[in-house]
Chain A
Amino acid sequence: MVNEILIAGFGGQGVMLMGQILAHAGMEQDLHVSWMPSYGPEQRGGTANCGVVISEDPVGSPVVTEPTECVVMNLPSLEKFESSVRPSGHLFVNSSLCDQEVKRDDIQVVTIPVTEEADRLGNARVANMIMLGALASCLPNLPFDAIKASLRAVLPERHHQLIPINEKALERGRELYQQQ
C-alpha cells in the first residue's frame, strides 16, 4: 500500500510541519517514508506545499504529482491541485479559506472549516492540526497514537507547552472526519 500525500497552503499555515509529523509517524510504524518540500523563489505569505510518501516498499520519487490524499489549506492551492488528485482519492478542503465548490465528482471530498474550528478551541494557529487529525483518520497505516507521538518528536522543545492544545486539535479533526 502506498499513500502519496500532498499538503498545500500559505507559508505560515504549518503545512510543512503537518507533512513532517506524518512522515515521522510512518517511520515509527517501520514503513518507508519520504518528505519533500516545494522549494522555489518562495516568500512569506506565498504558496507552499510538501509531498509525503508512506509505503510498504522503498520510495521511488519523493515528489508527489498525483496525490492519493491532498490537503488544500487555501483557495490558490485548491485551484492548483484539485485536478491532480488521483481518481477515488481524498481531497481535504479548508472551507474557511476556500469559498469555491470542488468540481471533481470522482474523488472523496472532506470539507472542514479549520480556521473557525481552531478559533473555537482558543488558538487559530492549531488549524493545521485539526486538518492533520482529519487526514490521519483516513490513513489506516498510521495509528492515531503514532501521530500524537510524532507531534512530540517533531515539534521543537521550546513549543512543547503547546502540545495539549495541538492534541486537542488533532482529536477535533478526527471527530469532524468521522462525522462526514
Chain B
Amino acid sequence: MDQDLQLVKGNEAVAEAAARAGCRYFFGYPITPQNELPAYMSWRLPELGGVYLQAESEVAAINMVYGAAGAGVRVMTSSSSPGISLKQEGISYLAGSELPCVIVNMVRGGPGLGSIQPAQSDYFQATKGGGHGDYRMVVLGPSDLQELVDLTYESFNIADRYRNPVMILGDGIMGQMMEPVRFPELLDPQTLPVKEWATTGRGGKRKENNLINSLYLDAEACWEHNQKLGEKYRQMKENETRWEILYEDAEFYFAAYGTTARIVKKALESLRQRGYSVGLVRPISLWPFPDQAFASLAEKARGYVVVEMSMGQMVEDVRLAVGSELPVEFIGTAGGVMPHPSDISDKMETLIREVGGHK
C-alpha cells in the first residue's frame, strides 16, 4: 500500500489541506453538513500556532475573514447553503476590497432552511455573484476527495495571485464521506511572499499608508476601480479555467460536476458497454466556466444531457456554451435526493433515440 494514503472524511480533508497550504486563521459558525471542518480547525490551527474562532454568526465570521485577509494572512471560512447566504455581503466587500480568502460551501438542499442532505442548488449563487456589485470569484467544484484536497491547496495560491476570494463548492456527500487521500507538504506561511499591500502598519519603512476599502464616492473613481477588477476577471478566465473530458471522440455527452459527475461516470460506463458513443464534460472551475471544453467538441458532438442535483442551473451555462444548434437536455434531483445511474442513462438513451444516433 501507498504509505502516504490516509482514509479521511471530506470535511477534515479540506481543513488539513488548507492548513498545509499555510492557512492559519479560520472563522466560522456551525451548520450541518460541514461541522467536522471547523471542529478539525479548532485543534489543528492552535497546534500550528494559528487562530480558530467560532464567531457569533456567519456575518461576523466573514467580516473576521475580511480583517485577517487585510492583514495579509491566509484565511478561510466554511459553511453550508443558508450560512453562505448570510456571508454574501461580506464576500462582495472582500471582492470589492481585493482581499484574498477561501470560502467553502458544502451545499445542502434549499431554498430557505431546506434539508441537510447533499445538493448542488447553490450554483447560481456561487458563480453569478450571490452578493451585490460587478464581482467575480473563481469557483472550484471537485468530484472526489483527492481533488478536493488538491484544489483546496491550490485555491489559496489563486486567491493570493488575484487578491480575490475563491470558493470551493462541495456538497453534503463530499463533506461526510471518507476516501483515501494523499496530502501535499505542510507549508510554512513565513516562506510565502510578503503582501506589500497588507495593512500591517508602516513600521517606519513605508512612506504611504496602505488602504483597504471598497468605497469610491466619486463615480469616475468607482468606474476605474471596476475596470481594474474587470481586467483581473479577464485574466482569471484566461488562466484559471479547468475541466476534464472523458472520451473526446464520442457523439453524445453528459455534462456534470462535483459528486454528480462520479455518479454520471457509472451511467456512462454502462452505456458504453452497451455500445453507445457517449462521453463526459466535467467542468472543474464552475466560474470561469469552461466554454472552451464545449467548443473543442463542436465538430463531433450531437447532443448533451446535463445532470445536476438541482432543478437546472449549470444547464444554462452549458446551453450558452453549446449554442442553439444542438439539443441540451436536463435531468436533475432536488432537496437532497441523489440522482440514480439508471435514470441518467435512460435520459441519454432517450436523447440518442430522438436524435437518431448510432449505437
Contact B7 A35 (CB under 8 A): yes
Known: A20-B178, A27-B180, A61-B263. A39 touches B7 (CB 8 A): no
> B1 is contacted by which of A29, A37, A40, A60 (Cβ under 8 Å)?
A29
The answer, yes or no, to whether A116 is at the interface (CB within 8 Å) is no
Contact yes or no, B338 A61, CB < 8 A:
yes
What is the interface size of chain B, counting residues whose CB is below 8 A from a CB of the partner? 24
A27 to B173, CA, bound (A): 19
- The reply on B33 being an interface residue by CB < 8 A is yes
Residues on the B chain within 8 Å of A60, using CB: 262-263, 265-266, 341
B116 and A40 contact, CB distance less than 8 A: yes
A39 with B172, Cβ < 8 A, contacts A33-B179, A61-B266 known? yes
Q: Which residues from chain A contact B1 at a C-beta distance below 8 Å? A: 27-30
A23, CB-defined interface residue at 8 Å? yes
Closest CB-CB distance, B40 to chain A, in whole Å?
15
| Bound Cα distance A20, B180 (Å) | 11
Classify the interface of chain B: helix, strand, loop or mixed. mixed
A121 contacts partner chain B, Cβ-Cβ < 8 Å: no
B-side contacts of A28, CB under 8 Å: 1
- Is there a chain A Cβ closer than 8 Å to B157's Cβ? no
Contact of B7 among A27, A37, A62 (CB under 8 A): A27
Task: Determine if B7 and A36 form an interchain contact, defined as CB atoms under 8 angstroms apart.
Answer: no
* B265 engages A33 (CB within 8 Å): no
- Docked complex: A27-52 residues within 8 A CB-CB of B: 27-30, 33-37, 39-41
Q: Is B116 within 8 A of A39, CB to CB? A: yes
CA–CA, A83 to B332, complex, Å? 26
Contact with A along B302-330 (1 / 0, CB 8 A): 00000000000000000000000000000
Which A positions have Cβ atoms within 8 angstroms of B?
Answer: 20, 23-24, 27-30, 33-37, 39-41, 58-63, 65, 154
Please, could you name 8 A-B residue pairs with CB atoms under 8 Å apart, sorted by A? A34-B178, A37-B176, A40-B116, A40-B117, A60-B265, A61-B341, A62-B179, A65-B340
Given contacts A20-B7, A27-B7, A63-B338, 5 further A-B contacts (CB under 8 A): A29-B1, A30-B1, A33-B179, A33-B180, A58-B262
